């Protein structure tokens, strides 16, 4: 019951800090949107050169969203533990799988669904563990 003792001291010693996991949650949604935009941009790529990439609006929006998502990750890491937050980034797989199904009509099979459930439960476990 050692864990219970350290937990209670942290509750009294530190202010409530649940935002880091929430911030990484937002970061994964932005990251997934970025990947979908980049895929859309890649599908419509006419000129694969540097100029073609720079004038590709969905691709560039994707890069901007990636930048924004990294920004949120930095804010989250400021207050949270790396070992707790880094694995939460795997939520991106969940959103990308669901969005690819909705937008590109990629196949959604039992394996992917099982994977999604496992990732979400893993993040839930980490989220609960990160609650102080």
Partner 1 sequence: MKTPLSHMLLVLLAAFIGSFGGVFLKSGAGVVRDGLVYLFISREPPFFNWRLAAGVALFLLSSYFFVLGIRPPGELSVLYPMVSLGYIFTLLWSRIFFKEPLTRVKFLGLFLIVMGVVFVGLGSK
> Site residues (CB under 8 A) for partner 1?
3, 70-71, 73-75, 77-78, 81-84, 86-88, 90, 93, 97, 107, 109-123, 125-126, 128-129
The tokens for 63 are: 């890069």
Q: At what angle do helices 19-43 and 91-103 cross, to 10 degrees?
A: 40
Residue 59's nearest CA partner among 71, 72, 47 is: 47
Burial class (CB in 10 A: 0-12, 13-18, 19+), 89: middle
Cα angle value 84/26/33 (rounded, 5°): 120
């Amino acid at each position: 019951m050692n864990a219970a003792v350290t937990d209670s001291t942290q509750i009294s010693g530190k202010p409530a800090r649940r935002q880091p996991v929430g911030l990484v949650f937002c970061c994964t949604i932005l990251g997934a949107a970025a990947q979908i935009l980049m895929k859309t941009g890649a599908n419509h790529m006419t000129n694969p050169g540097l100029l073609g990439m720079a004038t590709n609006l969905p691709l560039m929006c994707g890069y901007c969203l990636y930048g924004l998502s990294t920004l949120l990750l930095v804010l989250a890491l400021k207050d949270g533990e790396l070992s707790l937050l880094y694995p939460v980034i795997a939520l991106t797989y969940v959103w990308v799988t669901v969005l690819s199904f909705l937008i590109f009509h990629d196949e959604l099979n039992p394996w992917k669904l099982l994977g999604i459930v496992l990732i979400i439960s893993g993040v839930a476990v980490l989220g609960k563990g990160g609650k102080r």
